[in-house]
Amino acid sequence: MNKIYECEKCGVVTHERDHLCVPKSVDTMDTYCGSTGNVSNMCDSIRENAKFTCVTCGRTAEKADLVCDTIKLH
């Protein structure tokens, strides 16, 4: 199991801690999915990598398997 990290500033989720400006370790998808991250302030360091958004809760993620229901942004 890969660890999951959420950016405390913009709310993007990823497996790569280094991609986030203010990384916070989270246990499961349930912790963040359902609450929308503030992606209008998405950090530059993650912007290019955050390719997926959840159609249910609006959360942005680097990998499709990090959110409950995705569409591809790019």
User: Interface residues with Zn ion (CB under 5 A)?
Assistant: 7, 9-10, 21, 33, 43, 54, 56-57, 67-68
R_g over Cα of the chain: 10
- Least CB distance from residue 59 to Zn ion, whole Å? 5
State the minimum distance, in angstroms, from the CB of residue 1 to Zn ion. 19
Min dist CB 11 to Zn ion, Å, is 7
Please, which residues have CB within 8 angstroms of residue 5's CB and are 6 or more apart in sequence? 13, 14, 15, 16, 17, 20, 23, 24, 25, 26
